[in-house]
Structure formats: structure tokens, C-alpha cells
Amino acid sequence: MSSPAVTLEPGSAAEPAPVPRTVVHKFGGTSVADAERYRHVARLLLAREETLQVTVVSAMKGVTDALIELAELAAGNRDEWRERWHETRARHRGAAVALDPAAAAAVQRSAQAVEAIVARGEPVYGINTGFGKLATVRIEREDLETLQRNIVLSHAAGVGEPMPVAVVRLMLALKLVSLAQGASGVKPATLALLEAMLRQDLVPVVPCQGSVGASGDLAPLSHMAAVMIGTGEAFLRGERMPAGQALSRAGLQPLVLGAKEGLALLNGTQYSTAYALAALFEIETVFQAALVAGALSTEAAKGSDTPFDPRIHALRGQPGQIVVADALRGLMAGSAIRESHRENDVRVQDPYCLRCQPQVMGA
């Protein structure tokens, strides 16, 4: 929702538009759990006089109490409200992560399949053999855990500055989704630790350079796995510390990797995918800002919204062009600036950079 910052009438000076009163309503999920409760909430909203109302519904445990506590602290001008606000933001800034219970059976079957291979003693790559050129080397059963630990430590050789925490958190989530398919042979405890790390905001320190991508993001994922076994470094709620200390403070235990688990954690493209998604999110934000800037520029130049007419763009049928034209038209809808020069404007058309925004940004 947007409204013009100023109202211009032909021949008049700019006058500030009245600032609408805004009220924010916060309801718990059970407040709108059935039709009668929904009607009750609707009546509460309709009884208000404010012209702009925002309604937030959340069933996240603890959010309502935290917001009320913050409001009370701020209303009382108590100094600790700012610190509490930062703590609350840190606690709730990530999306809640929970595995679908339906994944448990597939994960368990996969882990049992690996256990059966170990029990039979048949040679299977990555379980009881060496890696790469050492694939023909058999590994004794008592050394299988050491084999998996060693592949993690030997590949944790990244360099450079740490990856952004948000990207690493996304990498963990993607790895969790991958392992939850139940085709990697890892134990349920391994997924449980990844899930707990995300909930506790325990994020491995992962150097930004080192991935070759050919058989997966081996080095970055090794740094992730290293933290899971208690080595390397991690951020715990923003504070950098040794991995063992971070796990301990979060109430978590390091893993002892079983057969194939180290290999399963290392293989994958979750690092590259996380960076690609982060870039996509950034681009989406920039694109939305570009749309707003384009609409504002058109308004500032007293341009026309006629070039954004949907009939024009439907003829070409380019989806992006249609979406951009619709967005620009919506941003300018109801604009007093546009209405101020709709009649008796001697200009035939706007500059190319304004009238062709849908074609350029929608490409």
C-alpha cells in the first residue's frame, strides 16, 4: 500500500498530505482458529477509527509474550528495552526449522542399509574403502569411524574471510533437506544435530574460498561437518568461538561419525546453492527497489502511466514485461501528481527511459 507524499493541484504549491494514523494488531494463531473467532477479530478491526491498520497473526511460541514485554519496557522508558529488542531479534530472525516426521522412516531405513553393508563386509565405496585413487584399499571395521573423521579434517582446508552467516545458515538448511530424503545413509542423530544447530543459531565458520565444485562443495561442507564433530570454529548467536565450546554452550554433543556419514556431509552443492539463493534474494530486493524508483521517477517528471496500459503489453505477451507494467501501474494508482496533469498536457510522450521501463526491467 502506498500513498503520495505530497498532493499537487494545478497552479498550487505542494502541501504535505495528512499522515494517516496507523495501528498494528497482533493476534495469536488460536485467535482466528475458527469462523466465530474470525468474525470477532473482524468486528474489533472495524470498530477502530484508524485509516491504516496492520494485522499480524502468529502462532510462533513466545512471540506474543516477547512483543508485549518489549512494549511495556519501551512504554516505561526503561533502558534495557533496547538490549532486549536485540536479543529478541536474534532469537527470532531465522525461520523456524523442523523436520517433517514423515522423513524419519526413510532416514532410518537408509542408515540400516549402511549398517547391513558393514555387517556383511562387502566392499562398498565410501563405507569401507579409501577414497579417490585409494578406492581399492579396504578399511577394517574398527577404523571406519576414523576414516569418516579423517575425510572431514583433510578437506577442511578453505581460506579467506568467513562466509556471511546468513549464507552458511542457508547452507545448513539445504544440507538438512538433502539428508532428509533418506538416500545418504546417515543416522537420525546427524539430522537432529543440524536441526538443533539451526534452532540454536549455531553457525559454523566457513572460509569463503576453497570449493572446486566438481564433486561437490567439499571444502566448505567439510568446515560445516568439522563443527559437528567438535573441531573448527562457530558463531553462537553472533559470538565467534571454538566449535566444542559453542556446542557445549548450546547444550549439544559433538557427533561421532559412522560409516559413510563424513562422505555424505561433504558431497553436495549446498554451498553453491546457498550463495546462488542469497544472490537471488538480493536481486529480488534490488528489483523491487528499482520498480519503486521507476514509479517515483515517472511521478517526478510528471510522466504518464499510459505506457503501462495492460493492453499494450498483452500484445507482446512477454511475462516479465507484463508483470513490471502491472507493478508500475499499481504504484502510481490514485496518484494526485498523475491527476494534476492528466488533462491539457501538451507533451505527446515521455522520455524513452520512462515509457519503456516494462520492456527493459521485464526482459
Per the DSSP assignment, residues forming a β-bridge with 54 are: 24
> Who has greater pLDDT, 71 or 332?
332
**Distance, CA of 56 to CA of 35 (rounded, Å):** 17
Active site residue: 125, 271, 275, 352, which one? 125
pLDDT at 101: 86
How far from 357 is each of 295, 298, 316, CA to CA, in Å? 9, 10, 15
- CA nearest to 231, candidates 204, 270, 209: 204
End-to-end CA gap in the chain: 26
Q: Let me know: does 227 contact 250? Beta carbons within 8 Å.
A: no
Q: What is the pLDDT of residue 211?
A: 81
* Residue 352 bears catalytic tag: no
The model's pLDDT over 259-290, given as tens digits with 9 standing for 90+, comes to: 999 999 999 989 998 888 888 888 888 999 99
Residue 14 pLDDT greater than 50, yes or no: no
State pLDDT tens for residues 293-351.
999 999 999 999 999 999 999 999 999 999 999 999 999 998 888 888 888 888 888 99
Average pLDDT over every residue of 5-9: 36
pLDDT in tens, 24-63: 555 554 444 445 555 665 666 666 665 555 555 544 444 4
Section 111-126 average pLDDT? 95
Mean pLDDT of all residues belonging to the chain: 82
pLDDT for the residue numbered 4? 35
Mind listing the pLDDT tens digit for each residue in 248-261?
999 999 999 999 99
pTM of the model: 0.68
Confidence band of 116 (pLDDT split at 50, 70, 90): very high
Q: How far, CA to CA in Å, does 177 sit from each of 75, 172, 268, 272, 281?
A: 42, 9, 12, 15, 19
**pLDDT tens digits, 143-185:** 999 999 999 999 999 999 999 998 999 899 889 989 999 999 9
- What is the tens place of the pLDDT at every residue in 189-236? 999 999 999 999 999 999 999 887 666 899 999 999 999 999 999 999
Q: What residue segments make up the domains of the chain, in order of their start?
A: 22-95, 102-267, 277-362
What's the confidence (pLDDT) of residue 39? Answer: 61
Look up the CATH number of domain 102-267. Answer: 1.10.275.10
